[in-house]
Structure 1
Amino acid sequence: MNFGRFITLLILFSAGLYQAQGFELKISYTIENYAPFYYQEGGETKGIYPQVLKAATANLGWTIKEVRCPWIRCLKSLEMGDVHALAFIGKSKEREAFAYFDEAAIVHHDRINLLTLKKNTFEFKGFQRKKGATEFIDFPSRFVYIVKQLGFNYGQLDEIKSLKPVYVAKTKQLIAMIVADHIKLGVIYESDYLETVKDKSSFALIQPPVHEAPYYFGFSKKSFPKARLKQFVEQMRKIKESGDFAKIHKDFGRQSP
């Protein structure tokens, strides 16, 4: 290879590297609602998932720009390629122009469950449709709903009026209260239950009805190439498997296993 061609290739490579590292990822968040583990504080989207997104983009040399708009405008912006991704979008046949990944499958390494003593077992009937509306079937009033972390929500469970919120600092503290029969029901991390409870025969572990359908990030195929999406998803997985992920959990009050 002659020297001139080498210099040309070096310039092209450097330009491509600069472009990749200087990339601004535009994520659109709707102003109507937030997915689980997101909340607003001081005009900034916070929670475990946003912090992982920020860590992943920082590792790639990218920056994030949040775009807030009503749902329809967010969707149109994604279709036009004005933004790269729309958070909390539901996957459907009508939106085949978008590439998806399930944020929970990548980031959330631990299932959230309801834990109750078997002598206090119950059947959660979820919700039923009546004339197009959603009606929640309440738990008996003796049950107590425990939320471990302020700012987080549990979807449908938050709508059940007979569940009284009680706040504790750590899941293991909550499990100890259930074991001692001081409370009847708690929302826990499965890993903490498996680690903490020695005799599991007395307890029922139930997956709560958090949402009717999972949330996805929808990426615009027009403005976010498949190769870049793959690069981004791989970086998310690396964050999940790293010490940075444990630190993010800890920073948000989560004791990671």
Structure 2
Amino acid sequence: MKMRTVCWVPLILSLFIPMAAVQASTITVAIDHAPPYSSTHGAQAKGLLLDILTPIADELGLELKVVPCPFSRCVHMLEQGEVDIMGGLIRTKQREQGLTFVTPAYMALHSSFRFYSLRDSGMEITGYEALYGKRIAVMRGAAHFARFDKDREMIKVPVTSEQVALQMLLKGRVDLFIGVEETAEHAMSILQQPMHKLVKQPYQYRDSIFGYMAYSRDFAKTSQAKQITSLYQDLAEGGQLTELVKPYALPPIARY
């Protein structure tokens, strides 16, 4: 009888272990197709976030499972806890309510939000007010500048990628699309899109734009998340993170 009782003890005790304490060895990483910073086309996903996480995962004995998804779907999955990590996110108060951002940012762009139109449209946007009445393609789930994002009078047409935005513009389904000048034009050249048919409107909103790695709320509570954060910040402190972002033509990582 004693042996039978002892055999049941581990099972009984396991029922009282909180689920948060059960740690997985596989970390799910949401990756959207946003060249040159990430690519989900081809046999294997690749990109800057994976360049950063791979050596960290190797050191911790973790496996990275890539989940390819459109940008808006990636953000939604992260917010719902369906994936653990995503990168390239602009930090906003709204996003901070459901996500945990990891500092420092690994992407730092001193660029402008620009509005692109067809060259032969004859359109000229010289100020913010001139945007009213125009159909503007925006990346679904993306953050831009506060005035634009909060403006409910703007006609915003959500799209899943900059490539789709350009295709809609070329077909006359939208009048403009908004993008970060530095990344949008680089992406269009990588995707071999006809940028010569477009024109940048005079109006622009210049800002310092930072892209962060972020965790889902549940994953942020795990020991793996804390270990990843610690090693990530060690890379930033030691200058290795700057070396990892250098091939992507990004500036050095600011240290603490």
* TM bracket (short chain): 0.3 to 0.5
What TM-score comes out, normalization by structure 2 length? 0.45
Question: Where is the strand percentage greater, Structure 1 or Structure 2?
Answer: 2
